[in-house]
Chains A and B, each alone.
Chain A
């Protein structure tokens, strides 16, 4: 069969879309509550600060990867940080990715239980989600990339759905700008970071881009800034509507945000939001799942990812069923969120520094 695209490779466009798709997912629901607890009316500033930090680390990660065009993640990490550490990092990343896939799936099935199917057991919903995810993921990264190119369109609906309720919002709720203090704003950066988690896939996926070009760095940063902008607008408009005091008592702000307006014919728009949100979470899950499979695949140096995809399925199923209730899911997610700081911030910075230390040495040797 003729194939214009090699198996397991993605286009640069698919990389940007996957960055957007994995970041906008579960976090969007409770984002503004989590940040407003610390940063109050200035939560949106925390989001922007966080976005800038993440753009920087992403740029560092891609910069290092661009300097090793022929190598995959494990090869250049081994070169910069020695082999055992590289394997250790990738292995822990795969474990993290599996855990996080399981938790997102559990979170999704809890939400499905809340919105759509209150009487259906979680185990059944979880099973269906995992079965469909395996179907998406089993044919490798190329198809996950394509799948997300379609699924990412559901984010458009999130953007559109911001507008209807704006008529009831008041800018006064955002005043005074900067009034909560620098310390509080900085405290809000950490919870907003959790919603951005997932962008660390660039470490793993960049080497798999088939049409590598210098622009990838720029556009990847753009896609992160796009997500930042989206989150900033979301948070700002939600605080403008509810005010930061009220927002602390709302569990999933994005849902209640749509509830304030009466619309003709369709009484509750939020069910449409829920539908599109489910779509986008499927995108997130598929990327996190394939990232786990690719991680282990490059450790064991096998040809296909499908073996690991099937291997992970029962594992993820068990992980998804471990938490006893939504509170525990949130608690576990917090722990995982802290781990992503390691992959999202520390590793890129470490690689960047090591590259400059070692790179300098190599130049000297050559000279």
Chain B
């Protein structure tokens, strides 16, 4: 293919134009070229419709484009006594979203996005008619972030449906949706969503700047954007909240945060955030306040268990047996008699097995996956104990840990926990409780150093924000939220 000049303009001669597009879109069997004769009073005129099969609605093209052209052209041109211009066709085509352009780049992008192009002999502009329609998943209940109480809808792959879901929840003209095109080849539409009079414009401008600076062939998920925008890519902690839930996105928008939606991805990303948000779920606000708070505390405990519990067990059995009462430690020792290696090997072995099971059950079809996961754990756990490869206490510890690591509202946060747990076990095996302390000191220091778009990761604890404490590990009644959280970096702090 010849190097395509995006700014090149089409000519008045239809045959030249057709040749040009056939050259550019050579070997694309799914492009449909439909020549139509436009009946005019003095002479018939040649027209050409180009569309991409599969992305367009046949019905719209047939009934609302071809039909009016064929029916009205003759009559009106007779009345007008002159050749109609492109605006005339714009009038008779019964589609609400029509743009015109003469740039080859625009037209090609239109075709590939599912628009239908109309070009007419003697005119050097083309109409880009919106006929987009394709099969997409319907709105379903979220699989990854399930709620007992609260709205059940979740984002789908289609960007427009997603933005519509947000619009439906916030009917405010200040809700802005800006579009940036990312990916030199995939030309993916990326929407930056914010509320104009709340958002911090410094953060917004930097986001747009960074998005525009992305140089990549293609973007297929919001995960790409996340990686390009994050300031600390190698940290084990995510610096943006990922969610499938429109209500969560809307709640965050109202606090002054920015959301990004990527066409083709059902996951929105939200920033700036702080660590505490990863243990918060929309359900905490929907449920009665006491229950919501208890659940949050349980999640925090889950986080501690998932990171430290196996390490603690290893430290106790290796170094600090005196912590536990004598008969308890003797019981543990009895079960470990047949185990031929130190607790750390046991812990790493069982953790490894759990990781294998987890990864395997993710890949299997839903129904089988769950069964295999549970059965596998029991069979392997039981068999390992009987064979003397692991002690029953260790199996319990690993099981509790595995459950604890799933306590996060969004699944992908639990990945970060694994990267803490394994080093923690190794440190505990080498230095006992001191190793655990050192690991936690390093983790806390690391978390204090992280920031999400200028917002320190550990807010509201470090730096301490008294006002934001109202919505941290416990939440106060909704009535008390008079100010927007500092972590959102909003410039309009009073809620109204």
A binds B: yes
Question: Does B433 lie at the interface of the complex (its beta carbon under 8 Å from any beta carbon of A)?
Answer: yes
Knowing A2-B206, A266-B324, say if A150 contacts B444 (CB, 8 Å).
Answer: yes
Interface footprint category on B = 35 or more
**What string of 1s and 0s marks CB contacts (under 8 Å) between A2-21 and chain B?**
11110000010110010000
B444→A265 contact, CB < 8 A: no
Tell me which residues across on chain A come within 8 A of B445, comparing CB atoms.
Answer: 132, 135-136, 143, 147
Provide the residues of chain B in CB contact with A3, threshold 8 Å: 451, 454
Of B324, B326, B438, B448, which one neighbours A150 at CB under 8 angstroms? Answer: B448
Given the known interface contacts A128-B431, A150-B458, the answer about A279 and B440 at a Cβ–Cβ threshold of 8 Å is yes
Q: B278 near A: Cβ within 8 Å? A: no
In the complex, chain A residues 332-362 whose Cβ is within 8 Å of any chain B Cβ? none
Question: Would you mind naming 5 contact pairs between A and B with Cβ atoms under 8 Å apart?
Answer: A1-B451, A116-B320, A132-B441, A149-B461, A267-B322
Q: Give 5 nearest A-B pairs by CB, closest first.
A: A2-B454, A146-B462, A149-B462, A146-B448, A136-B445
- Min CB distance B230 to A, Å, is 11
Q: Is the CB of B453 within 8 A of A117?
A: no
Answer whether A150 and B434 are a contact pair too, CB < 8 Å, given A1-B454, A135-B445, A267-B322: no
Do residues A278 and B323 form an inter-chain contact, with CB atoms below 8 A? Answer: no
Q: Are B444 and A268 in contact (CB under 8 A)?
A: no
A97 to B264, CA, bound (A): 57
Q: Is A54 an interface residue (CB 8 A)?
A: no
Give Cα A274–Cα B319 distance, bound, in whole angstroms: 14
Decide if A275 touches B448 in the complex (CB within 8 Å): no
Instruction: Verify B458–A146 contact, CB threshold 8 A.
Output: yes
* Chain A positions within 8 Å of B454 at CB level: 1-4
Tally of A interface residues using CB under 8 Å: 38
Q: Which of A136, A145, A149, A150 has the most CB of B within 10 A?
A: A150
16 further interface pairs, Cβ-Cβ under 8 Å (given A14-B464, A116-B320) = A1-B231, A2-B206, A2-B489, A4-B456, A13-B463, A13-B464, A116-B431, A117-B431, A132-B445, A136-B441, A146-B462, A147-B445, A149-B458, A149-B461, A149-B464, A265-B325
Known contacts A116-B433, A150-B461; decide if A128 and B441 are in contact (CB<8 Å): no
- Nearest Cβ distance between residue A99 and chain B, in whole angstroms? 23
CA distance A247 to B263 in the complex (A): 71
Q: Does B246 contact A (CB under 8 A)?
A: no
Are the C-beta atoms of B433 and A275 separated by less than 8 Å? yes
A24 at the interface (CB under 8 A from B): no
Q: Tell which of B231, B322, B323, B448 touches A147, judged by Cβ atoms closer than 8 Å.
A: B448
- B324 touching A265 by the CB < 8 A rule? yes
Query: What is the distance, in angstroms, from B424's C-beta to the closest C-beta of chain A?
Result: 14
Cα of A112 to Cα of B437 in the assembled complex, Å: 11
| CB atoms of B455 and A4 under 8 A apart | yes
Please tell me if A172 contacts chain B, counting CB pairs below 8 Å. no
Cross-chain contact B432 with A116 (CB below 8 angstroms): yes
Q: Does B109 contact A (CB under 8 A)?
A: no
Query: Nearest chain A CB to B182's CB is how many angstroms away?
Result: 21
Complex interface: chain B residues within 8 A of A128 (CB): 431, 438
A265 touches B328 (CB 8 A): yes
Least CB separation from B202: chain A residue: A2
Are A11 and B463 touching (Cβ within 8 A)? yes
Which residues of the other chain, A, contact B432 by a CB distance below 8 angstroms?
116-117
**In the assembled complex, which residues on chain A have CB atoms less than 8 Å from the CB atom of B453?**
2
CB contacts (< 8 Å) of A279 on chain B: these are 437, 440-441
Closest to B436 in A: A275
Residues of chain B with a CB closer than 8 A to A1's CB: 206, 231, 451, 454
Q: Which chain B residue shows the least CB distance to A283?
A: B441
Contact A135 B442 (CB under 8 A): yes
Smallest beta-carbon distance B468→chain A, Å: 13
Interface of B is mostly: helix
Residue A275 contacts which of B326, B437, B461 (CB distance < 8 angstroms)? B437
Known contacts A11-B464, A13-B463, A112-B434; A117/B206 CB under 8 A: no
Chain B residues numbered 447-472 whose CB sits less than 8 Å from any CB in chain A = 448-449, 451, 453-456, 458, 461-464
CB of B211 within 8 A of chain A? no
Give the distance to chain B from A24, nearest Cβ to Cβ, in Å.
Answer: 16
A129 to B28, CA, bound (A): 64
Instruction: Find residues 252-297 in chain A having any chain B CB closer than 8 Å to their own CB.
Output: 264-268, 271, 274-275, 278-279, 282
| C-alpha gap A129/B453 in the complex (Å) | 31
Contact with A along B292-329 (1 / 0, CB 8 A): 00000000000000000000000000011011111010
Q: How far is the CB of A61 from chain B (nearest CB, A)?
A: 23
Do residues A125 and B434 form an inter-chain contact, with CB atoms below 8 A?
A: yes
Candidate in B323, B328, B451, B489 with the most chain A CB atoms within 10 angstroms: B323
- Provide the residues of chain B in CB contact with A5, threshold 8 Å: 456, 463
| Closest CB in chain B relative to A31 CB, distance in Å | 22
Residue with the highest number of chain A CB atoms closer than 10 Å, among B203, B431, B464:
B464
* A96–B171 alpha-carbon span in the complex (Å): 63
- Which residues of chain B are within 8 angstroms of A267 by Cβ–Cβ distance? 322-326
Closest-CB distance, B120 to chain A (whole angstroms): 51
Determine the residue in chain A with the shortest Cβ distance to B453. A2
Which residues of B sit under 8 angstroms from A268, Cβ to Cβ? 322-323
Q: Is residue A139 within 8 Å, beta carbon to beta carbon, of the partner chain? A: yes
Q: A4-B489, A120-B431 are in contact. Are A146 and B463 (CB under 8 A)?
A: yes
Contact flag A14-B463 (CB < 8 Å), given A268-B323, A271-B433: yes
| B138-170 with Cβ < 8 A to chain A | none
Complex alpha-carbon distance, A10 and B70, angstroms: 74
Partner of B462, one of A4, A135, A150: A150
B328 neighbours in A (Cβ, 8 Å): 265
Output the least CB separation between B387 and chain A (Å): 30
Q: A149 — nearest CB in chain B belongs to which residue?
A: B462
Complex-state Cα separation, A278 to B203, whole angstroms: 39
A278: chain B residues at CB < 8 Å are: 434, 437
- The verdict on A151 contacting chain B, using a C-beta distance below 8 Å, is yes
Inter-chain CA distance A129–B434, complex, in Å, is: 10
Among residues 168 to 210 in chain A, which have CB atoms less than 8 Å away from a CB atom of chain B?
Answer: none
Residues of B within 8 A of A266 (CB): 323-324
Closest to B203 in A: A2
On chain A, the residues within 8 Å of B436 by CB distance are 275
Which residues B223-278 have CB closer than 8 A to chain A? 231
Q: How far is the CB of A130 from chain B (nearest CB, A)?
A: 11
Q: Which residues of B contact A13 (CB under 8 A)?
A: 463-464
Question: How far does the alpha carbon of A139 sit from the alpha carbon of B232 in the complex, in Å?
Answer: 15
Asked whether, in the complex, the Cβ of A139 is within 8 Å of the Cβ of B464, the reply is no
The proximity string for B residues 413-452 relative to A, scoring 1 for CB distances below 8 Å and 0 otherwise, is 0000000000000000001111011101110110011010
Q: Contact: B434 with A116, CB < 8 Å?
A: yes
User: Which B residues lie within 8 Å of A120 (CB)?
Assistant: 431
